Amino acid sequence: MRKIDGDPCPTDIVQHIMTSTASTRKHMSRFIMRVLPIEVACYASEEEISRAITPVVEKYFPVDTQDPLK
């Protein structure tokens, strides 16, 4: 299964579900106990994990060189 450009990412889908549930106070399903947004999946080796996690880290933890936090 590949992500097509324009499709929402898993975190957007989970955010929408949680916001909708909180605002309507209505349960969507009684069988859902946990929702885990998985953005990247790879083989469980150090090299593959390092390669797969790099874009995710850059997306959520951008490098700010002008005003670094101490």
Closest alpha carbon to 51 in 64, 37, 41, 38: 41
Q: What is the pTM of this model?
A: 0.57
- Start-to-end CA distance of the chain, whole Å, equals 41
Q: Are residues 39 and 59 in contact, defined by beta-carbon separation less than 8 angstroms?
A: no
- Phi-psi label, residue 44: left if phi above 0, alpha if psi -120 to 50, beta otherwise: beta
Task: Give, for all 70 residues of the chain, the pLDDT tens digit.
Answer: 566 777 888 888 888 888 888 888 877 777 777 888 888 899 999 999 999 999 989 888 877 767 666 6
Q: What is the CA radius of gyration of the chain?
A: 17
